[in-house]
Amino acid sequence: MLSGRTSKVGPKGQVVIPKELRERLGIHPGDEVTFSLVEGGVLVERVEVHRELRGAFQGAGLLETLEAEHRDEVRRGR
CA torsion 42-38-5-24 (nearest 10°) is -90
Position 45 scores a pLDDT of 87
The full set of domain ranges for the chain reads: 1-47, 50-78
Position 47 scores a pLDDT of 85
Whole-angstrom distance, CA of residue 1 vs CA of residue 28: 20
Position 71 scores a pLDDT of 83
Q: How confident is the model at residue 65 (pLDDT cuts 50, 70, 90)?
A: confident
End-to-end CA distance of the chain: 52
Instruction: Tell me the per-residue pLDDT of 13-46, one tens digit each, with 9 for 90 and over.
Output: 999 999 998 998 889 998 888 899 999 898 888 8
How crowded is the C-beta side of 35, counted as CA atoms within 13 Å?
6
Provide the CATH number for the domain formed by 1-47 in this structure.
2.10.260.10
Position 51 scores a pLDDT of 53
